[in-house]
Amino acid sequence: AAMEKVLAGGMSIMNAKGAAGILMEADTGEIVAIASLPDFDPNNRPAPPVQGNPDDSPLFNRAVQGVYELGSTFKTFTIAQALERGQVKPDTMINTQSPMTWGKYRIRDFHNYGRELSVEKVLVKSSNVGTARIAVEIGAERQQAFLRTLGLLDPVPLEITEA
For 71-149, CATH gives 3.40.710.10
Between strands 105-107 and 93-95, the pairing is: unpaired
Q: Clarify whether 118 is annotated catalytic.
A: no
pTM of the predicted structure, to 2 decimals: 0.68
pLDDT the model gives residue 46: 81
pLDDT the model gives residue 140: 94
Q: Are 138 and 81 in contact (CB under 8 A)?
A: yes
Taking the C-alpha atoms of residue 89 and residue 79, their distance in angstroms, rounded to an integer, is 10
Residue boundaries of the structural domains of the chain? 2-65, 71-149
Q: Active-site residue among 36, 57, 72, 126?
A: 72
Taking the C-alpha atoms of residue 75 and residue 91, their distance in angstroms, rounded to an integer, is 17
Strands (E), the chain: 19-24, 31-37, 93-95, 100-102, 105-107, 116-118
- Long-range contacts from 47-56, C-beta under 8 angstroms, 24+ separation: 55/18, 56/17, 56/18
pLDDT the model gives residue 163: 60
pLDDT the model gives residue 128: 96
pLDDT the model gives residue 123: 97
**Measured CA angle at 56 (ends 52, 58), to 5 deg:** 125
Residue-level pLDDT, tens digit, the chain, 163 residues: 899 999 999 999 999 999 999 998 877 878 899 999 999 888 888 887 777 777 778 888 899 888 877 788 899 999 999 999 999 999 999 999 989 998 999 999 999 999 999 999 999 999 999 999 999 999 999 999 999 998 888 887 777 777 6
